[in-house]
A and B are shown apart, each in its own frame.
Chain A
């Protein structure tokens, strides 16, 4: 059985790339291939041209949080980080730094078996940040987090990307990805379905882009659009909706018709609609 087939994409520095797909799509397997934990039959996964295991300082260049975060339950959070800092050749001072960064300093001396799911997730993120890596890979990091935790995670990802890091985050939480990702890679059944900037992937729906436009004189607006060959229908919320036409063409048509606009908005499909369409899954 092929878990992942003919998948190719790149993740850029300074951007959050959402890696989206339904359960069983092959996301986790792909991330584990990136990290050398699973060996692909053919092909390579590289970081600036080098496989993970060939990097001079792997955990200093790539930090990873995998879906099933692994800890010895009898070891304290601080000791868990001490082990990884030592093995990765990172200064021990980083342990206190990352504990502070994920708000776990007070719990650092407690054994992990007493941690909540959210605390374990924070500890896993702290481990990923130990080497101050240029690349962050996170597999379903919002799992088990409460709403404030999810918000915290989203802010963290954005902050990491803003500092120039490449962030690849897998999720099946559609709303979460749409709020934090710049780019999207969508896969289903082990196959790549779409990739590109979020707006591009969302805009690539059947029928093309959708634009909502309003004017004080909607009759004149409707006539101007018709004159430009743009089909528009009344929107139940007010104004007109033009299917298959972007904001630039609608705005230009209104200008030519001498109609003053009060609203001109590109209406994206919801990520959920795009996701269902792209992955071929049922609602």
Chain B
């Protein structure tokens, strides 16, 4: 499957109508950017700035929007696979690890053992018949990651998937994600509020504003791969970035040290 066009986001306005308890608010306004095929693009912004909303629109879960999101299309003309790794693993607790991945595959891919191969690559080979309730938080996210890659997506959306994991487990998962992405290249939109994570993972970082969200800074991460989490190179890149765009990113830098940061 040759993917010929990347992701193009052009959202004029995304508004949530209030419902008595919550006042109406505009989550996104004039948000435009393109992601070339195969690029690993990180979206960085304060909590509540509409990042999840954007992913939901791209995933086709939310159609109530003024604007359009063009997802990578292939030469067959059919809508290519979009896959989504949510903030929580969202596994089906009544299905084994194997079935949790197989359930999203078409019968052909299931029969040739594509799901099991991916799970083995994620070091879950000995947990194929376990139920998710028996797994650790890191293991559950590896299952979710295997599921996300299993459908051979043309676009992979990730919504702060490694939040609330401790540092070593999170770093290991980030490495697994990069390994798999390099083995199976695809366009990636990775949402985070952690600047170090974005620098470690991304080819490019888009900084979003407080809501209504728009792009305030577009930064290419020109560090050579493989990168090392917490390495001097990443640290230097971060310092340079904050020096150059300190004013613009001030609110965000605070958010990276305080994940509980919220919008008024």
Do A and B bind? no
